[in-house]
Structure 1
Amino acid sequence: MNKPTISTEAPNIPPGVIPDEVNVSNTVNLDELEVQYTYSSGRAYKLKFYDDRVSFTQLDAGHIPTLTVPYRARKIGKDMFLVHWLVPGRVGHVTLILDLGNKVIHASALMPGQMELFDEGPIVDVKQGKYTQ
């Protein structure tokens, strides 16, 4: 059996031709939740959730500003949430699994500049929000 070749060019699909498929019927907000974690690379981050947005700060990079964006979250298990947001201008996206019970984060992201992130790491600090207790 021959393996198909790996695509190296993005398909030419004009914006708006294929609609986003977003089901918001069972989303939750993580208002007041704060999570600090470190990826296997050693980079440390802090997320602070509000009812309709999340602030994302890289703790070990003073020159990189905090990014605040709208997010979506879905409860997928006891103390476990699937979280997603788009980078402004839709140039990338971040998807996280926050496993608060086991204090671990899993991440998959395409960041500006086409940097790919596929990692996990320990959650080192959690301040529970009013919707995660």
Structure 2
Amino acid sequence: MDRFYSIVLIVAIIVLIIILAYIGMQISSNVGQDTPYPPQHGHCPDYWESIERNNKNVCQIPPVNDEDPHPNLGSIYENGKSTLTTNSTPGYDELSNTVDFDDKKWYTGPCMKKKWANQFSIIWDGVSNYNDC
């Protein structure tokens, strides 16, 4: 009986080594590929609400509240007033305090959004950590 267990153990170890070698080769063959990460991102920055306005999905900028601060306002407010402009933020609507990130002026897609998010210290998973710019 001891010989049987020894043979089974040796075969199992050999199979394990072969499987691990195969997995290692598959992983190493994908190392050189420049795949953008993350592959997709949310429509709005984290903790911002996506609302429909004029048949378009836009992002509602959270209001400033000193008593209960919002977790993702970054530096878009200064002394209670918005620092955003239509020049610095394409698709910005001051009256409704929204941003249309599908506006055609966001022409470089995630790269321009990443620059904007980093400029205003906005956390936007999939954009502020995008690696293909």
Same fold (TM over 0.5): no
TM-score per shorter chain, which class?
A: under 0.3
Per chain length, whose mean CA-contact separation is higher, i.e. which structure has more relative contact order (CA < 8 Å, sep 6+)? 2
TM-score relative to the length of structure 2: 0.24
Which structure has more helix as a fraction of its residues? 2
Provide the TM-score with structure 1 as the length reference: 0.24
Normalized per residue, the structure richer in strand is: 1
